[in-house]
């Protein structure tokens, strides 16, 4: 049996002594042998010694309180769940994370330099006689969770990248990390170099705020040294998709609060679910920050999880239902696409996704709502200089949204520019949904396809349209646009652009999705420029948008024949 109380007390006292005696300038050279004076000064300016941590094993909450009291420590707040350490213990000991009650608290101590620091105490509850005593014994022998930590001062991507590089240069290797939604902080763990003299095997960099982009690069380096774990995480990625979809299908987010926790049993009654199974689902999603677990079987919704509310602002619930529904099913036939080059969705359902969804009113509505849920990519678009200039034209101007869905984007453009008028071109059943959303005061509706692009407008929008089609169909669409566009009209195209190097991008994932489910593809800026040129258009430039999107600006490059497709009003020619 582990004599947790007495052993925990002696180790905790030693940790307190260490924290009171060290500071950044004295500790960093012990951790990273070989630091020169200039490097040390640079690191000291950017991070400060914040705490030393250890893992203790109380039998219950009162035992933990007794250990703290014997060491003269007072916790400033009740213990909180420790997501990162719980996950590390679960992986290391092949346990289910739900079986590990790991809490964190941070009593304050005063350093010899007068600075306030903390002793970070992780507490794994080990009831007497439980099989967790074996876990405690192994952890006592290895001290894997004992570490020293530095808080990053004024963290930004450049500072974090520089600190990670400096640590790596002196032999500290990535050793995991995570984002803790309970305190909105990002943790980067490093294994100390073999020559380290500090007596700790791990270093933590703690950056206040959400820095999961930098964390992803850090974890990628760590997992490259953990191939079996990396492969397991990749193979279980589909579980996350279905967990989010289940949350959306049951409308769990709508029955939860971001300010107050709710018991899983009471929540199950609200959404007509099995209490135990719902609790398991929520504990799993807590590891991704979708909910937080404030107490056993008590959960609170996060701002991330609130995106799955049905009626919330910016709801992404339709995307969850689409990605976890029809597109999820067709992804199971991805090998067919890779083997034959054919669209898996058509192989599975017997029709392309547009026709399949149009034949089912429920799916048609879901598809249109899921496309509208991508509005975050378009959010800065209404402020684009082309639209702003058109809105300032003294004679008024008109914007045409080609295949504009239910009018989500067009409504934002019109809200931003009261002087603009609009035309929306869409399939007949979608036009009716857009008419209900936008009304008729400033918008005219054309039911048709790409051959029906209205002529004579000032600005044309093609948002997330071209990536649905192969190159030949894209040329046809762009030629229809070119024939309809006056000489000084502008075309704005919103798409994700494939990177020309190996930099990470959402476009790389969407390229696979488009080929498997839709029959289209993502493209580089150069590829779009070639398509535009072949249609008599010229790429002027492109600007970044959120979610790895870009808005490409094109104009007519060659004269086009005059056509009459219900010419719309024109502004005076642009000056300059």
Do 17 and 140 have their domain in common? yes
Q: CA-to-CA distance for 149 and 243, rounded, in angstroms?
A: 34
Work out how many domains the chain is built from and give that number.
Answer: 4
Do 406 and 352 have their domain in common? no
Do 173 and 316 have their domain in common? no
Do 460 and 506 have their domain in common? yes
Do 298 and 383 have their domain in common? no
Adjacency order of strands within the sheet including 443-447: 443-447, 420-426, 397-402, 459-463, 490-496, 549-556, 537-544
CATH code, 316 = 1.10.10.10
Do 224 and 340 have their domain in common? no
Q: Decide if 260 is catalytic.
A: no
Residue 249 lies in a domain: yes
Q: Please, which residues have CB within 8 angstroms of residue 566's CB and are 6 or more apart in sequence?
A: 446, 454, 455
Residue 561 lies in a domain: no
Do 21 and 165 have their domain in common? yes
Q: CA-to-CA distance for 56 and 59, rounded, in angstroms?
A: 10
Closest by CA to 490, choosing from 538, 527, 522, is 538
Domain endpoint, select from 214, 232, 250: 232
Closest by CA to 492, choosing from 415, 377, 385, is 385
The residue assigned the tokens 């020309």 is: 500
Residue 524 lies in a domain: yes
Residue 34 lies in a domain: yes
Residue 110 lies in a domain: yes
Do 441 and 295 have their domain in common? no
237-243 long-range contacts (CB < 8 A, ≥24 apart) are 238/328, 239/284, 240/288, 241/323, 241/324, 241/328, 242/324, 242/328, 243/281, 243/284, 243/285
Confidence (pLDDT) at 574: 34
Do 315 and 345 have their domain in common? no
Residue 442 lies in a domain: yes
pLDDT in tens, 191-232: 998 888 888 889 999 999 989 888 988 988 887 777 777 788
Residue 195 lies in a domain: yes
Could you give the angle at the alpha carbon of 361 between the alpha carbons of 477 and 370, nearest 5°? 60
Confidence (pLDDT) at 6: 44
Burial class (CB in 10 A: 0-12, 13-18, 19+), 379: middle
Q: What token pair was written down for 16?
A: 């307190």
Q: What token pair was written down for 481?
A: 């646009």
Residue 50 lies in a domain: yes
Do 346 and 482 have their domain in common? no
CA 323 distance to own-chain centroid: 15
Confidence (pLDDT) at 2: 41
For the four alpha carbons of 530, 533, 539 and 540, in that order, the dihedral sign comes to: positive
CA 295 distance to own-chain centroid: 26
Range of the domain at 345: 326-359
CATH code, 195 = 3.10.180.10
Q: CA-to-CA distance for 535 and 185, rounded, in angstroms?
A: 50
Pair 494, 545: CB distance under 8 Å: yes
Instruction: Look up the pTM and report it.
Output: 0.65
Pairing of strands 147-152, 116-124: unpaired
Name residues of the chain where pLDDT drops below 70. 1-6, 558-576
Q: Is 524 left (phi over 0), alpha (psi -120 to 50) or beta?
A: beta
Segments of 279-396 assigned E as strands:
291-295, 298-301
Q: Which listed residue (417, 467, 480, 542) is catalytic?
A: 467
Do 331 and 420 have their domain in common? no
CATH code, 389 = 3.40.50.150
């Amino acid at each position: 049996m582990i004599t947790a109380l007495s052993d925990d007390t002696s180790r905790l006292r030693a940790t307190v002594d260490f924290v009171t005696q060290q500071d950044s300038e004295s500790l960093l050279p012990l951790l990273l042998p070989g630091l020169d004076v200039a490097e040390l000064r640079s690191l000291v300016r950017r991070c400060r010694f914040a705490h030393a941590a250890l893992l203790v094993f109380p039998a219950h909450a009162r035992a933990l309180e007794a250990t703290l009291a014997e060491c003269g420590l007072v916790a400033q707040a009740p213990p909180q769940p420790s997501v990162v350490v719980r996950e590390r213990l679960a992986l290391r000991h092949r346990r289910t994370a739900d079986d590990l009650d790991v809490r964190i608290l941070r009593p304050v101590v005063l350093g010899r330099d007068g600075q306030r620091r903390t002793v970070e105490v992780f507490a794994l509850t080990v009831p007497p006689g439980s099989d967790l005593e074996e876990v405690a014994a192994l952890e006592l022998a290895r001290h894997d969770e004992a570490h020293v930590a530095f808080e990053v001062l004024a963290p930004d991507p450049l500072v974090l990248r520089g600190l990670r590089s400096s640590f790596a240069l002196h032999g500290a290797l990535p050793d995991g990390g995570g984002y803790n939604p309970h305190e909105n902080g990002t943790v980067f763990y490093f294994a100390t170099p073999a020559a380290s003299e500090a007596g700790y095997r791990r270093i933590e960099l703690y950056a206040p705020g959400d820095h999961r982009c930098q964390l992803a690069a850090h974890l990628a380096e760590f997992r490259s040294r953990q191939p079996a774990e990396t492969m397991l995480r990749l193979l279980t990625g589909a579980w996350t998709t279905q967990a989010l979809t289940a949350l959306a299908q049951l409308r769990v987010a709508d029955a939860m609060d971001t300010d107050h926790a709710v018991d899983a049993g009471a929540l199950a009654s609200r959404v007509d679910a099995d209490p135990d199974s719902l609790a398991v689902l929520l504990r799993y999603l807590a590891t991704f920050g979708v909910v937080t677990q404030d107490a056993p079987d008590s959960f609170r919704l996060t701002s991330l999880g609130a995106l799955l509310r049905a009626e919330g602002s910016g709801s992404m619930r339709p995307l969850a239902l689409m990605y976890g529904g029809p597109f999820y099913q067709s992804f199971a036939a991805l090998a067919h696409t890779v083997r034959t080059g054919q669209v898996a969705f058509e192989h599975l359902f017997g029709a392309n996704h547009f026709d399949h969804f149009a034949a089912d009113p429920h799916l048609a509505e879901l598809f249109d709502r899921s496309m509208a849920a991508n509005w975050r990519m378009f959010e800065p678009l209404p402020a684009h200089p082309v639209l702003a200039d058109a809105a300032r034209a003294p004679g008024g101007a008109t914007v045409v949204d080609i295949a504009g869905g239910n009018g989500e984007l067009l409504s934002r453009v019109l809200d931003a520019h009261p002087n603009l008028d609009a035309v929306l071109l869409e399939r007949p059943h979608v036009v009716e949904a857009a008419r209900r959303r936008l009304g008729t005061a400033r918008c005219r509706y054309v039911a048709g396809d790409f051959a029906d692009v209205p002529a004579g407008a000032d600005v044309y929008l093609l948002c997330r349209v071209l990536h649905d089609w192969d190159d030949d169909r894209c040329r046809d669409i762009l030629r229809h646009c070119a024939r309809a566009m006056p000489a000084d009209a502008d075309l704005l195209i919103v798409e994700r652009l494939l990177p020309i190097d190996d930099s990470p991008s959402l476009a790389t994932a969407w390229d696979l999705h488009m080929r498997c489910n839709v029959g289209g593809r993502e493209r580089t800026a150069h590829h779009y420029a070639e398509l535009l040129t072949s249609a008599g258009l010229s790429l002027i430039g492109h600007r970044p948008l959120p979610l790895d999107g870009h808005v490409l600006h094109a104009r007519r490059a060659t004269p086009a024949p005059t056509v009459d497709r219900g010419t719309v009003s024109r502004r005076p020619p642009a000056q300059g």
